Structure 1
Amino acid sequence: MLKEGDNAPKNIELNDQEGNLIKLDDFKGEKLVVYFYPKDNTPGCTLEAKNFKDSIEDYNKKGIKIIGISADSVKSHKNFVSKYEIPFTLLSDSEKKAAKSFGALEQGKVKRRTWLINENWQIEKAFEKVSPTKHIQELAEFYQLK
């Protein structure tokens, strides 16, 4: 699992909820929250996405982009984004390559984990154990939001 001070993985290309190919490298120079989650439309994953949605303005004010990644399909992501009006990018990692690169893959399953990446493409903070109910507060404290 990537830890604080590690470089974020390069050359990761995944499709977003609209089917557009997104290169994570294109975000170099920006602050990112990259969060991995197990599955669209499950209670914990829905709560986590809604929590990010509810605080998106705070992240925008600080110039921080949010990217959610799971092994779900582009179609599943599109439906999830539409159903809950999610205002940030979800990426489809159907082959689980990104999850493996970051360290969010265990025994073939995507785990709920988050990495905060700075403008220099280094991991500022890694969260290995993420609670959907408490995680948004951990991030708000780290970034001093509000």
Structure 2
Amino acid sequence: MTVEVGKQIENFTLQSHSGEQVSLSDFRGKHVVLYFYPKDMTPGCTTEACDFRDQHESFGELDTVIIGISPDPVKSHQKFIDKHDLPFLLLADEDHKVADDFGVWKLKKNFGKEYYGIERSTFIVDKEGKLQREFRKVKVKGHVEEALQFIKENLQ
């Protein structure tokens, strides 16, 4: 599966920070912001999560759910939520299957080392489950506001 703007996103199910199985189809009838991030508790990922937390109410007013996805295990997600008071779901994609499907599991380079990991990306899904916008290679600063603005201008 690959995702394409304007097309239906294939349903997937992952385990949430609380241990529940959560499917994308559970949110039919709401807009969904799916954001993929590399790792719990790292500086960029913490900033991004806290930015989403701080705008959570604004997204809610637009009938939009926020879901974070990373390859971290459930336990790590729960600690991340507890430490930063995150009011939205974090899903564990430990085998990076969903990240592969969205094309965000990439070969990365850091300090001369190559490794596979998540390329920070956000996908906005409409109430019918169709992809309306993708943000790839996201820079954290200002990104949450950009996503919120897109929903205000295009999905209301």
Could you tell me the TM-score, scaled by structure 1's length? 0.93
Alignment counterpart, residue 122 of structure 1, candidates 126, 130, 133: 130
- Matched residue SS, 2:3: coil
Q: What's 1:103 paired with? A: 103
Any conservation in 2 of the 1:9–1:102 contact (CA below 8 Å)?
A: no
Structure 2 letter corresponding to 1:136: V
Q: Does 1:2 align with 2:3?
A: yes
Q: Moved runs in structure 1, 4+ residues, more than 3 A?
A: none
- Matched residue SS, 2:25: helix
Alpha-carbon distance in 2 for matches of 1:55, 1:118: 18
| Worse overlay, 100-109 or 16-25 | 100-109
Q: Structure 1 unaligned runs (5+)?
A: none
Could you tell me the TM-score, scaled by structure 2's length? 0.88
- Matched residue SS, 1:130: coil
Residue 80 (structure 1) shift: 0.1
Q: What's 2:27 paired with? A: 27
- Matched residue SS, 2:15: strand
Q: What's 2:112 paired with? A: none
How large is the Cα RMSD of the aligned pairs?
Answer: 1.3
CA radius of gyration, larger in: 2
Aligned length: 144
Q: Percent identity?
A: 37
Alpha-carbon distance in 1 for matches of 2:80, 2:44: 13
Structure 1 letter corresponding to 2:7: D
Q: Structure 2 unaligned runs (5+)?
A: 108-115
